């Protein structure tokens, strides 16, 4: 079941993030409106910078009391000045605008279908005007959108979510210190930090809830710093924005050290 979008909503695009400056984004505080059979049940307004857990369990910020909803169904993270929805391997899945997702950037008016309920992600009318004005400007942008030559993770347009070309290898992180084994980078976007729901949980007092991400693109794997006093280091150099990983690079964060390697894909 899917809900209806609020009248006047303007979709920026499926799982794409609008280009909003830090100052403009600072004042934007979105809402989640819980709907069932076209009836509004409850509206949640949350502060920027916090993680919103969604599910049937009582320890979620957004509780949906329905057996079709998993105890911990999905999570909404404030990442790089934008909002990222992640399905937590729920039994019945999470849909955004009728499309099944694993992770998805949210835009004003998006419908999140969880079980038989719908959550509508929205900004206020004034906030929506900021988003729409920026979207119109983006439509006329040329190919060279990074005059500095150094695109940052904090520019959402840099968050290309395309899959890596299918070949016989994929990226992985091998523990050198702080753990054992390898972590295959088999998702479009890997979140690493001390948040217990991160794909890679890293301990450390100065480590951010989401310390960094690793994003798969057509031309390789990119590590981007997100938050936290302790920045990840690649080959002993602190990452300021985004860096492309090369095989055998070392990644240090907190008390953990990884090595980026290529492993053969499982057939």
For residue 180, what pLDDT band results from cuts at 50, 70 and 90? confident
Q: Which pLDDT score is estimated for 104?
A: 86
pLDDT of residue 125: 66
Arithmetic mean of pLDDT, 49-78: 89
DSSP 6: P
Reported as a single tens digit per residue, the pLDDT across 200-223 is 999 888 998 899 999 888 888 999
Q: How far is CA 145 from CA 69, 84, 107, 127, 224, in A?
A: 41, 23, 21, 24, 18
pLDDT score of 1: 45
Give the pTM. Answer: 0.49
- What pLDDT, on the 0 to 100 scale, is given for residue 5? 41
Asked if residue 75 lies in contact with residue 54, where contact means CB atoms within 8 angstroms, the answer is yes
Residues 9-50: tens digit of each pLDDT: 333 344 554 444 444 444 457 889 999 988 999 988 877 667
Does the structure show a pLDDT above 50 at 166? no
Task: Give the pLDDT confidence of 104-135 residue by residue, as tens digits.
Answer: 888 888 999 999 999 999 886 655 555 555 44
Per-residue pLDDT, averaged over 220-240, amounts to: 91
- pLDDT for the residue numbered 45: 84
Q: How far apart are CA 109 and CA 123, in angstroms?
A: 8
Which residue's entry shows tokens 């039994």? 91
Q: Is the pLDDT of residue 249 over 70?
A: yes
């Amino acid at each position: 079941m899917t809900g209806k979008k609020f009248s006047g909503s303007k979709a920026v695009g499926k799982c794409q993030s609008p280009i909003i400056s830090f100052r403009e984004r600072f004042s934007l505080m979105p809402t989640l409106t819980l709907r069932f059979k076209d009836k509004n049940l409850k509206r949640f307004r949350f502060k920027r910078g916090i993680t919103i857990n969604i599910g049937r369990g009582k320890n979620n910020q957004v509780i949906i009391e329905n057996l079709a909803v998993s105890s911990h169904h999905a999570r909404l993270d404030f990442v790089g000045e934008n909002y990222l929805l992640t399905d937590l391997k729920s039994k019945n899945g999470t849909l955004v605008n009728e499309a099944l997702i694993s992770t998805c950037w949210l835009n004003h008016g998006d419908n999140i279908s969880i079980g038989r309920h719908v959550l509508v992600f929205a900004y206020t009318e004034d906030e929506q005007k900021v988003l729409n004005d920026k979207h119109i400007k983006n439509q006329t942008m040329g190919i060279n959108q990074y005059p500095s030559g150094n695109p940052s993770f904090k520019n959402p347009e840099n968050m290309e979510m395309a899959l890596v070309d299918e070949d016989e290898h994929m990226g992985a992180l091998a523990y050198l210190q702080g753990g054992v084994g390898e972590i295959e980078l088999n998702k479009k976007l890997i979140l690493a930090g001390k948040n217990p729901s991160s794909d890679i949980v890293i301990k450390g007092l100065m480590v951010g809830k989401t310390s960094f991400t690793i994003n798969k693109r057509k031309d390789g794997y990119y590590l981007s710093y997100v938050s936290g006093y302790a920045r990840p280091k690649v080959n002993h150099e602190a990452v300021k924005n985004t860096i492309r990983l090369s095989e055998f690079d070392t990644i240090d964060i907190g008390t953990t050290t990884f090595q980026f390697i290529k492993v053969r894909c499982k057939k």
